[in-house]
Amino acid sequence: MKKYLFPVGLWLLFACIAVTLWLTLDNPFYFFNFLYIGTCLAVGVALYIKKLKYARTAVQFAVGLYMLVYLGILSRENMQIEGFWYYLFLGVFEAAVIHYVIAKILGPLFFGRGWCGYACWTAMVLDLLPYQTPRRPRKRIGFIRYFVFAGSLLFVGSLFLLRVPGMETILFWSFLIGNALYYAVGIGLALALKDNRAFCKYICPITVFLKPASYFALVRVKTDTAKCVSCGKCKKVCPMDVDMTDPTRKRANGTDCILCFRCVEECPRGALHL
């Protein structure tokens, strides 16, 4: 039962968030929203522990489609970074602001970039492509993410400065168009670089929030140096090019770990664990 402590703890964390937001904001939506997401993540991780092959994929679609279709399209909430800036400028603590604070700003202090591995609606499609093991070496074009990040802030800031009417409609269409561009660019990069996660490494603006906090993540894959024989199999299968042979937090690309556990599966000596 010890191996199931992580999914149980994950569920309890999201349950606490759900109850706290429900009572604080007096809105039952947040209770059901975060309880649903937490349950999906916890069940998915538990099924993965039971070695169910497509457990992570199932979780990605359960959470990703909920965020994309129900919240984004049907409820017309921009859950992309533009929505975060929009509500932040309005001074309203709801919708995308809550999502970003919990999943992408404070959340990584607990579970690193686990959101990228189990709940991102862009990655849920990219991970279906055939290049799970990326081509090496990694490209030095990660600076692009900062331009995309700045561009999103400039776009929303300009709407407020110019007092453009119908901002909610504009934000809804930017959500649809932005997602279409993300998928197009993500798939194009994956095919060009033979790397499913190229978009995550070089383009995604959310990593500007995720990477700093992920350095301090409580939940991370640890390396037992006494068992490690430096065979390099973990590095070969890692979709994010993380050097798991280094036991420290300064490991190469360490803040990019999405907790997919492919390295744990591949290690012949059982040297890797949470």
How do the domains of the chain map onto residue ranges? 1-52, 55-214, 220-274
b/e sequence 160-198, b meaning 16+ C-beta within 10 Å? eeeeeeebeebbbebbeebbeebeebbbebbeebebbbb
Mean of the per-residue pLDDT values for the chain? 91
**What's the pLDDT at 176?**
96
How far apart CA 230 and CA 27 sit, in angstroms, is 51
Q: Does residue 77 have a pLDDT over 80? A: yes
Q: What are the pLDDT digits (tens) for 41-68?
A: 999 888 887 778 888 999 999 999 999 9
Q: What are the pLDDT digits (tens) for 121-180?
A: 999 999 999 998 888 788 889 999 999 999 999 999 999 999 999 999 999 999 999 999
- What mean pLDDT comes out for the span 201-208? 95
Structural tokens at position 194: 């033979």
Share of the chain above pLDDT 90, in %: 68
For domain 220-274, give the fold. Alpha-Beta Plaits (3.30.70)
- What mean pLDDT comes out for the span 10-37? 92
Place 2 in a pLDDT band, splitting at 50, 70 and 90.
low
